[in-house]
């Protein structure tokens, strides 16, 4: 009887491991995709902010930076 129960137990443990790993892998890939979207938004923001730094007038530079920040926030709202 030990020989019959042992393969069954190994099969159950194996299936539980595969199921657990599958759930972990699917949630990790979703998290990675969400972070990639936010990273893209941050990269766009940093690029626009660097362009804004070349504007000599302080008032216009701040308006440009505020527009870049607003654009980043609206981009992040599109990330799921």
pLDDT of 5 > 60? The answer is: yes
Question: Residue 28 to residues 17, 35, 40: CA-CA distances in angstroms?
Answer: 16, 11, 18
14-60 pLDDT, tens digit each:
666 566 666 666 655 555 655 899 999 999 999 999 999 999 999 99
pLDDT of 11 > 80? The answer is: no
Task: For the full predicted model, state whether its pTM sits above 0.75.
Answer: no
Question: Residue 8 to residues 19, 21, 28, 50: CA-CA distances in angstroms?
Answer: 16, 20, 30, 62
Which is higher by pLDDT, 11 or 3? 11
User: Structural domain of residue 9, as residue ranges?
Assistant: 2-77
User: What is the tally of structural domains in the chain?
Assistant: 1
Contact indicator for 45, 71 with CB cutoff of 8 Å: yes
């Amino acid at each position: 009887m030990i020989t019959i129960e042992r393969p069954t137990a190994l099969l159950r443990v194996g299936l539980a491991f595969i199921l657990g790993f599958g759930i972990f892998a699917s949630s990790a890939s979703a998290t990675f995709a969400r972070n990639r979207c936010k990273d893209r938004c941050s990269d766009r923001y940093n690029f626009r902010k660097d362009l804004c730094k070349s504007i000599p007038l302080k008032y216009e530079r701040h308006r440009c930076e505020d527009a870049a920040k607003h654009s980043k926030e609206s981009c992040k709202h599109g990330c799921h």
